Amino acid sequence: MALFLSGVLTGSKVMQQRHLRQARIMQAAIQQRWQRDNPWTWQLKHVRWFLTQHLKDHSDATRYYYRLTALLVWKRLGNDREMLI
């Protein structure tokens, strides 16, 4: 995941580590649910599911930070459009 996001990670080292940790958590959840461990195989529905269903019992702040990470993943996948969530 570090190699995957290396081109889009900016900011402080702490924020980069946070995004990497959260991206790995997203990857594990999507892998468990849909058997898609490679972010290149993810579709919008996988990321939306993670943000809306997997994180539904988490705080607003947690969901916000995961959404930032999801936007980085989406940007890395070459999708310039905003994810409509």
Q: What is the DSSP string of 14-33?
A: HHHHHHHHHHHHHHHHHHHH
For residue 5, being part of any structural domain is answered with no
Predicted confidence at residue 63, as pLDDT, reads 97
Predicted confidence at residue 40, as pLDDT, reads 93
* Residues recorded for the chain: 85
Number of domains in the chain: 1
For residue 51, being part of any structural domain is answered with yes
Average pLDDT over residues 41-67: 96
Q: Which two tokens stand for residue 39?
A: 């972010």
pTM assigned to the model: 0.90
For residue 7, being part of any structural domain is answered with no
Range of the domain at 67: 14-76
Average pLDDT over residues 19-45: 95
For residue 32, being part of any structural domain is answered with yes
For residue 83, being part of any structural domain is answered with no
Predicted confidence at residue 37, as pLDDT, reads 87
Is the predicted pLDDT of residue 81 greater than 70, yes or no?
A: no
* Band of pLDDT at residue 79, cut at 50, 70 and 90: confident
